[in-house]
Structure 1
């Protein structure tokens, strides 16, 4: 199976900025939703749970949320499949519908924390960057050797 991304840098630059919510729900539908009127109007900050914690509800279930930023050096994109494939091995094509720099992350009746699976996944971008192989420049190597020699002299 292959996936084709149907956009380029020009489309990315012109794409609209989206307001996003990451909800712990599976909704069977892909139609329009008046999120501003039916959801955002009921979002409130609740200092009882801590600084920056938001409250709302979805279908009677209490939600606790917090503003989250896309990690530095990354861009949040919303992609939509142009046509559902009939079989899993068919080629898939995704098109750009918008981008985002921040979003609200929601939990059911639980204060968002770094223990949440989604938050841990976001922290993995830092781990991946630290583990990424990058060649060491000769001048950086020379500077580190010099620093080590000076440190050795001071300790002697």
Structure 2
């Protein structure tokens, strides 16, 4: 199976900017939703949970959320399948339907934290960047010296 992405760099620049919500729910539907009227209008600041926290509810379940930015150097994309696949092995084609730089991340009745799997996945961009940066010999030697000095202090 192959996946074809149907967009180019020009589409990214002029793609429709979207305001997205990451919800802890599976919604079996593929139609339009009037999010502005029936969800966004009920989103409130929730300082009791911390700075920048929000609250709302979905089908009676309380939500606590926060606005998150896409990691620097990355662009959030919304892709949509052009045709429903007939089987798992069918080739698929996705087209760009919008772009985003920030979104609202929601949890059921608990404050979002770095312990959440989704937030950990978002942090992986920073980890990957740190691991892929080249290290000079001088930096490596300085780190080895620091570790040796630290070990001597701990052994004393």
Partner SS, residue 126 of structure 2: helix
Structure 2 gaps, min length 5? 146-156
Aligned-pair CA distance for 1:132: 2.0
Q: Report which stretch shifted further, 107-116 or 5-14.
A: 5-14
Cα distance between partner residues in 2 of 1:106 and 1:117:
12
| Alignment partner of 1:83 is 2:73 | no
TM, length-normalised to structure 1: 0.85
CA RMSD of aligned residues (A): 1.8
Q: How many residues align?
A: 142
Q: Which runs of 5+ in 1 are unaligned?
A: 152-156
Q: What CA deviation, in whole Å up to 9, does each residue of 1:100-153 have, x standing for no partner?
A: 00000000001001110000001111111122265x7xxx66xx38x96xx9xx
Q: For residue 25 of structure 1, what is the aligned residue in structure 2?
A: 25
Residue in structure 1 matched with residue 64 of structure 2 by the alignment: 64
Q: Which residue number in structure 2 is paired with residue 11 of structure 1?
A: 11
Change (3 A) 1:45 1:16: same
The 1:133/1:45 distance shift into structure 2, 3 A limit, reads closer
Partners in 2 of 1:15 and 1:126 — Cα distance?
A: 25
Q: 4+ residue runs of structure 1 moved beyond 4 angstroms?
A: none
